[in-house]
Amino acid sequence: MTGGSSGIGLAIARALAEDGYAVTASARRVDKLEAAVEALVGAGLEVEAAPANVTSEDEVKALVAGHRERHGRLDVLVNNAGIGIGGAIEEIETKRLDLQIDVNLRSYVIAMREALPMLRKAGAEHGKALVVNTASIAGKGGQGWLAVYSATKAGVIGLSQAAQMEVAQAGIQVTALCPAFVDTPMTEWVQGQVEPEKMIQPRDLAEAVRLLLRTSRHCLIPEIAFTRPGDPSPFGT
């Protein structure tokens, strides 16, 4: 689980732990991650803090290896780390371009590559290993002033679709979550336009992950789009 210290990632970590999974939660900021995990452990849940900067291939590899050493198996991989930096295309700084690509897309590829051997073993055992990749509604229809973010999230959707083709016969399912604005620290900039309590809630995505785990191995849900009632459709219809 990357991006597990707050918002969507923390809600999914809590839900998985409540349902009996041993969770390895990761994030870049050590203090924030440890505080979040401490609260979950205090609630009697089995969650391990594993700080990592997902822009580092070595740290992502170590994150997966650490989970393997502690638990010996992996049934669910959640790629949730994400960063969005707004601005006009002609003003994009290369370092900010690279950062969004590295966090939002490259880290997902590396984590999946490293985790697939364990996921294949779980899939062979019970036919329902799961990869959840957090994309965005911006990946379904590009958003102005979020061009790079939109492109990376479209990439996550494409990655998820391609990966599913490769692992379909291995008992592994891959799903992209595509939410509109969720009430998390990442959307603080829009809270003057939409009140936080009227946004999609992190627990909504956590419940979607529960759904994915409870459907049969013969039911594939390639992606889930989350929108607010009354918002314009992102699909152009």
pLDDT tens per residue, range 40-65: 999 999 999 999 999 999 999 999 99
Q: What is the Cβ-side half-sphere exposure of residue 130, based on CA atoms within 13 angstroms?
A: 28
What's the confidence (pLDDT) of residue 189?
Answer: 62
For the chain, which ranges sit under pLDDT 70? 189-192, 233-237
Maximum Cα–Cα distance for the chain, whole Å?
A: 51
Residue in the structure block whose two tokens are 């003057």? 192
Rounded to the nearest integer, the mean pLDDT of the chain is: 95
Beta bridge pairs of residue 79 = 133
List CB contacts of 45: < 8 A, sequence separation 6 or more: 14, 17, 18, 23
Q: What is the pLDDT of residue 187?
A: 77
- CA–CA separation, 138 and 150 (whole Å): 5
| Catalytic residue flag (residue 149) | yes
Q: Where are the domains of the chain?
A: 14-19+73-226
**pTM (predicted TM-score):** 0.95
Which pLDDT score is estimated for 237?
Answer: 45
CATH number of 14-19+73-226: 3.40.50.720
**Active-site option among 17, 149, 155, 174:** 149
